[in-house]
Amino acid sequence: MKEYISPHCRIQGCAGSEKCRNAVIDYDSILEDISLTAKKIEFPSYNSDVSENKILSHRLFSMSASFCPNACSRPQIADFGIIASSIVQVTDAGCTGCNACIESCREDAIRFPTPATPEIIREKCLHCGSCSSSCPSGTISVFKTGYRIFIGGMMGRHPMLAAELPHIYDRDTVIELFKICFEIYNDLFYSGLRFRNMILRYPEKLPISLREIFLTALNGESRIKSDTSKQQQTVTLSEENYK
Ligand code: SF4
Ligand code: SF4
Ligand code: SF4
């Protein structure tokens, strides 16, 4: 685990940020760049939770990066989390019918409507890239890599899993969104709220272009104990990782 702690932010990355065979993206300095971004953002000096320029650890803004969907660094409970992702595609290269892709997919997200014609079931795919790595013919290949973004995870009295924003984002957009979220957190730090509740209570702090996407994501999520299928799936994946 890689960790950077600035006076007001904790940034954690899973082992894949250095070396892990499951990492979807080869080494990427995104954590260093996010850490530098965080350091440049000024923190208001008026807060009672700040003593000798140090914020109590439970009040640090938490950022967590995992480099595959196993999510070892638990981005789902961070204020701002990311998971590296590969979007795979089916190409024209001839399929040998070896079934390696089906065997490598833990999500049951590949089917063959007709022999030698794979199809990715997008609703099930977690963008781990395993199928493309195992495909000997290039019939399934990586189309694009990037990051899924999660916002507003928190523990405490009313724990909530983070809400996932739609789409896969490139690293520059991830850093820009981190900066916007962290600035809002600093601005509203005095409220004592976690980032999720800041957004829900003061949505006007978000740029207009982000308001709907953030609020739709946050309002669509439910508490950890809820039994919606999406939430159960997320919890199960996280637990599986710690067995
Ligand atoms: S989240 Fe994936 S890449 Fe990161 S340490 Fe866990 S298994 Fe490795
Ligand atoms: S990227 Fe991963 S989850 Fe998606 S189809 Fe391939 S193996 Fe399955
Ligand atoms: S791994 Fe590639 S070649 Fe083998 S069945 Fe899947 S798509 Fe076809």
The CATH number of residue 111's host domain is 3.30.70.20
pLDDT exceeds cutoff 50 at 189: yes
Q: Is the CB of 101 inside a 6 Å radius of any atom of ligand 3?
A: yes
CB of 75 closer than 8 Å to CB of 83: yes
Residue nearest to atom 4 of ligand 1 (CA): 16
pLDDT at 224: 44
Please indicate, yes or no, whether residues 159 and 182 belong to a single structural domain of this protein.
Answer: yes
Please indicate, yes or no, whether residues 160 and 126 belong to a single structural domain of this protein.
Answer: no
- For residue 76 the two structure tokens come to 């789902």
Residue nearest to atom 2 of ligand 3 (CA): 135
Tally of domains in the chain:
2
pLDDT at 27: 74
Q: Is the CB of 15 inside a 6 Å radius of any atom of ligand 1?
A: yes
Residue nearest to atom 1 of ligand 3 (CA): 135
Please indicate, yes or no, whether residues 17 and 39 belong to a single structural domain of this protein.
Answer: yes
> Does residue 178 come out as left (phi exceeding 0), alpha (psi in the -120 to 50 range) or beta?
alpha
- For residue 177 the two structure tokens come to 């969104």
Domain boundary at 95, 126, 144, which?
A: 144
Q: Which residues pair with 154 in a beta bridge?
A: 160
CB of 17 closer than 8 Å to CB of 65: yes
- Cα(206) to centroid of ligand 1, in Å? 31
pLDDT at 90: 96
Kindly report, residue by residue over 31-47, the tens digit of the pLDDT.
999 999 998 887 766 55
pLDDT exceeds cutoff 70 at 242: no
Q: Is the CB of 99 inside a 6 Å radius of any atom of ligand 3?
A: yes
- For residue 215 the two structure tokens come to 């609020």
DSSP state, 223?
B
- Cα(212) to centroid of ligand 1, in Å? 31
Alpha-carbon Rg for the chain in angstroms: 19
Structural domain boundaries enclosing 123: 87-144
Please indicate, yes or no, whether residues 156 and 66 belong to a single structural domain of this protein.
Answer: yes
Residues 6+ apart with CB under 8 A from 10: 3, 4, 57, 60, 61, 62, 63
Q: Is the CB of 71 inside a 6 Å radius of any atom of ligand 1?
A: yes
pLDDT exceeds cutoff 80 at 91: yes
Position in ligand 3 atom list of the atom nearest CA 112: 5
Report the pLDDT averaged over residues 96-114: 96
- For residue 103 the two structure tokens come to 């065997």
How far is residue 195's CA from residue 151's CA, in Å, rounded to a whole number? 8
Ligand nearest to the CA of 16: 1
Instruction: Give burial (CB, 10 Å; 0-12/13-18/19+) of 102.
Output: middle
Kindly report, residue by residue over 17-26, the tens digit of the pLDDT.
778 999 998 7
Report the pLDDT averaged over residues 159-185: 95
Report the pLDDT averaged over residues 197-202: 96
For helices 171-187 and 30-40, what crossing angle results, to 10°? 30
- pLDDT higher at 47 or 226: 47
Please indicate, yes or no, whether residues 63 and 176 belong to a single structural domain of this protein.
Answer: yes
Please indicate, yes or no, whether residues 164 and 211 belong to a single structural domain of this protein.
Answer: yes
Residue nearest to atom 6 of ligand 3 (CA): 101
Please indicate, yes or no, whether residues 93 and 205 belong to a single structural domain of this protein.
Answer: no
Report the pLDDT averaged over residues 44-56: 60
pLDDT exceeds cutoff 90 at 63: yes
Report the pLDDT averaged over residues 213-224: 78
pLDDT at 54: 65
- Cα(110) to centroid of ligand 3, in Å? 10
pLDDT at 221: 56
Neighbouring C-alpha atoms within 13 Å toward the C-beta of 209: 2
- For residue 217 the two structure tokens come to 């994501």
Residues 6+ apart with CB under 8 A from 177: 80, 149, 169, 210
pTM: 0.87
**Residues composing the chain:** 243
pLDDT at 140: 97
Q: Give the domain CATH number at 8.
A: 3.30.413.10
Position in ligand 3 atom list of the atom nearest CA 138: 2
- Cα(32) to centroid of ligand 2, in Å? 28
pLDDT at 46: 56
Please indicate, yes or no, whether residues 159 and 170 belong to a single structural domain of this protein.
Answer: yes
What rounded mean pLDDT belongs to the chain? 86
